[in-house]
Amino acid sequence: MDQIWKRVKSLLKEKVPGHSYRMWIEPIEFCEDCADTIVLSCPNPFSRKRISEQYGKLIESALCDAAGQPLKMNLIVGAAHPADSPENPEERQMKLPEMDLPARGGQLLRQDYTFDQFVVGKNSDFAYTAALSLAARKLGNQNALYLHSKTGLGKSHLSQAVGHHILKAFPNERVYYITAEDFMNEMTGAYRSDNIHQFKDKYRHNCDVLLLEDVHFLSGKNGTQEELSNTLESLMNSNKKVIYSSCYLPSEIPKVNDKLKSRLSCGLISKIDLPDYKVRLRILKKAARSGGFALPDIVLQYLASELVDDVRQLKSGLIGVAARASLLGSAVDLELARNVVDDIVTSREQITLDSIKQLVCKYYKVTLADLTSRSRRQAIVRPRQVAMYLSRRYTDHSLQTIGRSFNRYHATTLHALKAVEKGLKENGPFQKHVDFLSQRLEKGRG
């Protein structure tokens, strides 16, 4: 049946336009057959919907031609051969010692976050070299690296690239990738289920490389800080490797005990700056090649000149253009790119602390004085936190400056950001409010 599916793919390649074929049909894989049905897999629910609606009939008719009998298609989402695929990310993850801990400890490494997929420029040269040297054991006695940048500039990418590199070069090493928040949750769960010794053992004695994301999350979490400091001490004493990432420097994270602060500061601090136009263009070209998108140079140049906020935004512009062209069945040209960019780009330079405050006041029906007041009423605290969050997201001001502008210390600002980020994860009405306000700001409407 696998052969039949291969034949069907070549038939479809003749019938479906190249860019649509690459986007929708190419990734479909054969899973299994049962009776008169062939089970195929596709990468995500969106592609499942799209393929079924747009190409379902065409695929079934091609199946029928290739098999010489009617065949139905059952399209599922997920990996075709999870158990035996050599690229199965689970195999790239440290095997957890047998223990009765909550399953939420650790995340899988993303397959595309490798060194060769990372475009190096002046902005990231040092961080890249430091990460690669640490992975290749060429960083002398330096066993810890602290990756620091604004959001969306490649910290996770580089950190996971170290994980991939080590797993490839030293397959027996146990690499563990986890966010600081998950570390805390796992620790709390271990306490509750009386498994704390196993938890400690796991991180202190059964881990060779710890990739710890978003360490600023631990601000004010005293118990976790204590445990993490001890874990780090144990790892460092045994020459293990640790990579931290954060949007803040260790000295900027408030409410962190001295022991942890000193541990974090011992890491080689490597900052990633914003990429310039040339680097943005190289990133786009590489991403287009990897994604199989054939976009004219002029469109790539346009995207590189307009999408300047971070690399995540840049890549989403590229995917947006390719997806829109494919959905509309139209050519990729400047006009289409302009529409995509208009949806993404914000007139950020017009967004100031004042304009944010005014917008928040207008929609939450509070006054400017309320926002900077000492009031702890929920009806004031929430808008104040949202305003601080938007200020951090849409302006380049430091935590200190934002804090001062709201008559607060930067620790309070960080607390506000975390409170809003937590609320956003709940996907409820609060997220809708913040999305709404973000869109108003982005469209330059007060």
Ligand X SMILES: Nc1ncnc2c1ncn2[C@@H]1O[C@H](COP(=O)(O)OP(=O)(O)OP(=O)(O)O)[C@@H](O)[C@H]1O
Contact residues for ligand X, defined by CB under 6 A: 113, 118-119, 124, 149, 151-157, 247, 283, 311-312, 315
Closer residue to ligand X, CB minimum distance, 215 or 256 = 215
Cα(405)–Cα(208) distance, rounded to whole angstroms? 44
Name residue 431's amino acid: Q
Please state the closest distance from residue 149 (CB atom) to ligand X, in A.
5
- 106 and 44 Cβ atoms separated by less than 8 Å: no
Please state the closest distance from residue 115 (CB atom) to ligand X, in A.
10
Helices vs. strands in the chain: H and E counts, helices first:
19, 8
Closer residue to ligand X, CB minimum distance, 157 or 241 = 157
Is there a binding annotation on residue 156? yes
Torsion sign, CA atoms 397, 400, 403, 407: negative
Please state the closest distance from residue 152 (CB atom) to ligand X, in A.
5
Closer residue to ligand X, CB minimum distance, 163 or 383 = 163
Torsion sign, CA atoms 316, 352, 301, 338: positive
Token couple for 54: 């747009």
Is there a binding annotation on residue 444? no
Tokens 């271990």 map to which residue? 190
Closer residue to ligand X, CB minimum distance, 15 or 312 = 312
Q: Under the phi-then-psi rule, with left for phi > 0, alpha for psi from -120 to 50, and beta for the rest, what region is 307? A: beta
Closer residue to ligand X, CB minimum distance, 93 or 156 = 156
| Residue 17 DSSP symbol | -
| Residue 366 DSSP symbol | -
Token couple for 218: 């631990």
Please state the closest distance from residue 288 (CB atom) to ligand X, in A.
12
Token couple for 338: 């302009």
Is there a binding annotation on residue 56? no
Q: Which residues on neighbouring strands pair with residue 209, listed in sequence order?
A: 175, 241
Where in 140-195 does DSSP place strands (E)? 144-149, 175-179
Closer residue to ligand X, CB minimum distance, 245 or 405 = 245
Please state the closest distance from residue 58 (CB atom) to ligand X, in A.
32
Cα(436)–Cα(443) distance, rounded to whole angstroms? 11
Work out the angle at residue 8's Cα, subtended by the Cα atoms of residues 49 and 55, and round it to the nearest 5 degrees: 25
* Closest to 273 measured CA to CA, from 75, 128, 429, 430: 128
Closer residue to ligand X, CB minimum distance, 272 or 356 = 272
Please state the closest distance from residue 128 (CB atom) to ligand X, in A.
8
Closer residue to ligand X, CB minimum distance, 254 or 317 = 317
Please state the closest distance from residue 425 (CB atom) to ligand X, in A.
14
Please state the closest distance from residue 251 (CB atom) to ligand X, in A.
18
Please state the closest distance from residue 311 (CB atom) to ligand X, in A.
3
* Closest to 425 measured CA to CA, from 115, 181, 99: 181
Closer residue to ligand X, CB minimum distance, 106 or 152 = 152
Token couple for 348: 């950020």
Is there a binding annotation on residue 154? yes
Q: Cβ-closest residue to ligand X?
A: 154
Name residue 4's amino acid: I
- 387 and 360 Cβ atoms separated by less than 8 Å: yes
Listed in sequence order, the residues at least 6 apart from 209 whose beta carbon sits closer than 8 Å to its beta carbon are 162, 163, 166, 173, 174, 175, 176, 240, 241, 242, 243
Residues making up the binding site for ATP: 152, 154-156
Residues making up the binding site: 152, 154-156
